[in-house]
Amino acid sequence: MKQVFFGARLFNGTDFIDDHALITDGATIIGIVPSAERPHGLIEHDLGGGILSPGFIDAQINGGGGVLLNETPSVKGISQILEAHRQWGTTHALPTLITDANDVLIETLAAGKMASGFVPGYLGLHIEGPFIDSIRAGAHPQQHIRIMTDADIERLEQGQSGVLMVTLAPNKVSKKLIQRLVKAGIIVSLGHSEATDSEAFNAIDAGASAVTHLYNAMSPLSHRSPGLVGATLADTRVITGLIADGHHVSPTAIRVALAAKGPAGIALVSDAMPPAAGGPDTFALQGRTATRHGTKLTLPDGTLAGSAITLLDALHYLVGNLKVELKVALQMATSTPAKMLRIDQKYGHLAKGYSSSLVHLTDDLRVSSIWIDGLSYH
């Protein structure tokens, strides 16, 4: 089924293209041509202004619409989370399991395998912990944090379903084990760690290629002890996730990160919990009550407990509050996360041969329509 989309600015993953039309055939983009030269006789979508962009890609999405993956580690839970975020422009994501009991991890990996190729927008899983540093646990439950073993790696290797990202602390997992994960095709992300910059660089040398929610739950940057933040900002080999919600990272710190790494080195992540994407104000997080205060989520002791945002909210925050250029913010929600997840040959760009997974934004950056692999979902 061939379709032609016109009447909107095209964002191709890095820049805008004006006065052009996008042509798709089923799940694939087959061309971009000047609007005046667009073919006729196809299914036409006159978008009437706004921006047509690749769908947003979220590499860290714990929950949404009232559902938490840890509490619902099933195909149904995965589907509900992705469906909740889809209406806000996120066409693809990694449902994320935070540190939990081993049986929950096993159940989640099994659910991920069943969801692969079945749930629209499902890319794979992000396993955030339990192989982290208890000093930088954040909202992760201390009782489940542990050292990675060979058996854990075997379980992760066998549990792969599409993309598999694992967040670990580089000061708690050996270089040898990191190399083994990387060899298996698992994306190693560094986070929840008191690591020194040297420990972080050793992990990057071993093949770690990502960093989990920059600045949060990690050793900070100082001029004599750069820590994991310093290593992340200095090393072009890693792409870092960033939570832009006005609570996790200050405006100045976001500007520092952009100055150091640029939009090609920073992927927006929501770190969303059940209140995001239309969920309730409170939820149970492994026996503790987390509450939304405005756009901020906290545990009773004040610890941040993930976020209540979608990637669209992050886009609004960057453009509206920080005055970040729109194409920069869009890149951080599309082509950069695609590169971080190693799916940038199929997703994150508008170009021939890429997936026809699209979001149409109005001029004031509201979601108008969504397509995943050519099928309309909004």
**DSSP symbols for 42-106:** SEEEE--SSEEEEPEEEEEE-EETTEETTT--SHHHHHHHHHHHHTTTEEEEEEEEES--HHHHH
pLDDT at 191 over 90: yes
Look at the chain and report how many structural domains it folds into: 2
Residues 45 and 171 in one domain: no
- Residue 361's alpha-carbon distances to 16, 295, 367, in angstroms, are 13, 22, 5
Residues 250 and 308 in one domain: yes
What is the 8-class DSSP label of residue 180?
H
- 152 tagged catalytic: no
Q: How confident is the model at residue 172 (pLDDT cuts 50, 70, 90)?
A: very high
Q: In terms of residues, how long is the chain? A: 378
Enumerate the β-bridge partners of residue 20.
34
pLDDT of 176: 96
Helix 197-205 / helix 175-183 crossing angle, nearest 10 deg: 40
Residues 145 and 66 in one domain: yes
Residues 41 and 65 in one domain: no
Q: How confident is the model at residue 1 (pLDDT cuts 50, 70, 90)?
A: confident
Query: Minimal CA–CA distance to 214: which of 59, 97, 360?
Result: 59
Q: Which pTM value belongs to this model?
A: 0.97
Residues 368 and 290 in one domain: no
Q: Beta 20-25 vs 51-54: how paired, if at all?
A: unpaired
Residues 12 and 71 in one domain: no
Residues 228 and 164 in one domain: yes
- Per-residue pLDDT of 118-150, as tens digits, reads 999 999 999 999 999 999 998 999 999 999 999
Helix 150-158 / helix 175-183 crossing angle, nearest 10 deg: 10
Please state the φ and ψ torsions of residue 144, each to the nearest 5 degrees.
Answer: -105, -5
292 and 282 in contact (C-beta within 8 Å)?
Answer: yes
Please state the φ and ψ torsions of residue 316, each to the nearest 5 degrees.
Answer: -60, -40
Averaged over 317-327, what is the pLDDT? 98
Close Cβ partners of 41 (under 8 Å, ≥ 6 residues apart): none
Q: Which of 133, 235, 245, 271 is catalytic?
A: 271
Residues 20 and 88 in one domain: no
pLDDT at 161 over 90: no
Poorest-confidence range of 67-81, 129-143, 290-304, 361-375? Answer: 290-304
Poorest-confidence range of 105-109, 138-142, 223-227? Answer: 138-142
Q: How confident is the model at residue 286 (pLDDT cuts 50, 70, 90)?
A: confident
Amino acid at 104: V
Averaged over 21-46, what is the pLDDT? 96
CATH code of the domain covering residue 17 = 2.30.40.10
d(CA 306, CA 242): 12
Give the DSSP H or E segment for 335: helix 335-340
Q: Beta 375-376 vs 367-372: how paired, if at all?
A: antiparallel
8: containing domain:
2-53+349-376
* Average model confidence (pLDDT) across the chain: 96
Residues 33 and 96 in one domain: no
pLDDT at 378 over 80: no
pLDDT at 325 over 90: yes
Please give the share of the chain, as a percent, with pLDDT higher than 70.
100
The alpha helices in 131-196, defined as continuous H runs, are: 150-158, 175-183
Please give the share of the chain, as a percent, with pLDDT higher than 90.
95
Residues 180 and 250 in one domain: yes
d(CA 181, CA 188): 7
Residues 231 and 371 in one domain: no
pLDDT of 294: 85
206 and 168 in contact (C-beta within 8 Å)?
Answer: no
pLDDT at 342 over 90: yes
The alpha carbon of 129 is separated from its chain's Cα centroid by a whole number of angstroms, namely: 16
Six-digit token pair at 376?
A: 């309309």
153 and 180 in contact (C-beta within 8 Å)?
Answer: yes
Residues 75 and 162 in one domain: yes
